[in-house]
């Protein structure tokens, strides 16, 4: 499946953030105005956050009212769930969540 250019951009941004920081997961979300928010997972002694909830939190704290799409890049394990509820919290139901492996290849398309 080939993604639309705006959605492919989300995968590219998430992949680049993950590679730049040498973390296990990168995520990007796009809001109603086309602004993007990118995050990686945080693994500190007193704070652990997955990348997607952090990207959604960044969008919300920047004033986003709705999400149009989201992407997560990580080493793909089919049994490891992706938390699409956090996307639905801001974006509503039916927002596409693209999951890509470390190479940026799409492995799943979920919906919030």
Domain ranges of the chain: 5-111
Percent of the chain with pLDDT over 70: 99
pLDDT value at residue 103: 93
pLDDT value at residue 76: 72
Domain 5-111 falls under CATH 3.40.140.10: yes
When pLDDT is averaged across residues 27-52 and rounded to a whole number, the result is 97
pLDDT score of 83 more than 90: no
CB 32 within 8 A of CB 64: yes
pTM: 0.93
Point out the least confidently predicted range of 57-66, 67-76, 79-88: 79-88
How many Å apart are CA 45 and CA 37, to the nearest integer? Answer: 25
pLDDT value at residue 80: 79
Dihedral pair phi/psi, residue 89, rounded to 5°: -60, -35
pLDDT score of 1 more than 80: no
Is 86 strand, coil or helix? helix
Q: In this structure, what is the dihedral angle of CA atoms 100, 112, 43, 31, given to the nearest 10 degrees?
A: 90
Is 90 strand, coil or helix? helix
pLDDT score of 100 more than 90: yes
pLDDT score of 88 more than 90: yes
What is the chain's mean pLDDT, rounded?
94
């Amino acid at each position: 499946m080939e993604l639309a250019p705006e959605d492919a951009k989300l995968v590219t941004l998430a992949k680049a953030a993950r590679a730049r920081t040498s973390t296990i997961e990168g995520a990007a979300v796009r809001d109603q105005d086309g602004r993007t928010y990118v995050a990686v997972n945080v693994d500190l002694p007193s704070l652990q956050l997955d990348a997607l909830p952090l990207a959604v939190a960044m969008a919300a704290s920047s004033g986003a009212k709705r999400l149009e799409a989201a992407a997560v890049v990580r080493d793909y394990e089919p049994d490891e769930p992706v938390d699409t509820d956090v996307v639905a919290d801001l974006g509503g139901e039916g927002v596409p969540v693209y999951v890509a492996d470390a190479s940026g290849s799409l492995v799943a398309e979920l919906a919030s």
